[in-house]
Amino acid sequence: MPRAYNFCAGPAALPEAVLNQAREEMLDYQGTGMSVMEMSHRDQVVVEMAARAERDLRDLLGISDDYAVLFLQGGASAQFAMVPMNLLGDADTADYVNTGQWSSKAIKEAGRFCRVNVAASSEDRNFSYVPPQSDWRLSDNAAYVHYCPNETIGGLEYDFIPEVSRPLVADMSSTILSRPLDVNRFSLIYAGAQKNIGPAGLTLVIVRRDLLGRAGPGVPAMMNYQVHADNDSMYNTPPTFAWYLAGLVFQWLKAQGGMPAMETLNRRKAGKLYDFIDASPFYSNPVAPANRSWMNVPFVLADTALDKTFLAEADAAGLRNLKGHRSVGGMRASIYNAVPEAAVDALVDFMADFEKRKG
């Protein structure tokens, strides 16, 4: 059976070349006679694999030695708690900007540890725009400022990096590695792997070293960035197979031309889909044009009674996982790095044909 075009928001498509390499190495990794998932994380072969993955990631994003790079577990949702646990220090307030469901969840979790000042929100218009920074009301005593540059569920993306006087924290789960990034403008970046990094089960944290060591004595060791940094992300048994696959993805990205090449490709893929939607009276996108995500493209049909038919026919055509998130409905095409341009072309062709037959 031919491989389907997978538009899932996560766990998402992986590069076919990466999957093929993993298949070839499944039973015998580098002549060891074992799969990498069977090997001890203390084995030198695995230690070298992990170190290469970190080096390649640093190369891709230009991450300096001023930052620790951590490969953790728990998903981005665990970071909703770990960020305040590690960055509050003696402060009792943190600033958050609310632009969708993931930033809303981060706000709720942070509220367990401190007073959360919601500096701005776009909930008034159903999270369809990003509040301009001129409207933000930041605290004078906040330990950090947190935002989500790309909201996976709503397909909302910032068109700017905030300029703030406090440490800037970003949940980049669904946008990291999609284009060049000036890491130096951030104090902490975290991202669940299952979009552009690798399979679910791994979480990436890039944290400025001078922010380590702020966790209080009551913070468990497994939730303490300093502990993980001191142990090269191997304080406990890490998700070695997910780490290995992420490393293969990093190698694949470098072979494609790195972040500049990904930016060109992703901009073109998103442009094709949005241009078609905008030109059609049958489909629409609810997000302000300046804040449309390159990675997650939600759209609705003019006649919602056709939603089930659309999804069934798309699935039969090999266009999988186009159903929108249960909280918002409609459709959503997630077009991460590993989703080829041919997939977007096939989707546009299908949407045009469906409109011709049903519109």
Residue positions annotated with a catalytic role: 102, 171, 195
Q: CB–CB of 269/295 below 8 Å?
A: no
Residues 119 and 136: their CA atoms lie apart, in Å, by 5
Give the number of C-alpha atoms closer than 13 A to the C-alpha of residue 283, restricted to the C-beta side: 26
Q: In this structure, how many other beta carbons lie within 10 angstroms of the beta carbon of residue 35?
A: 16
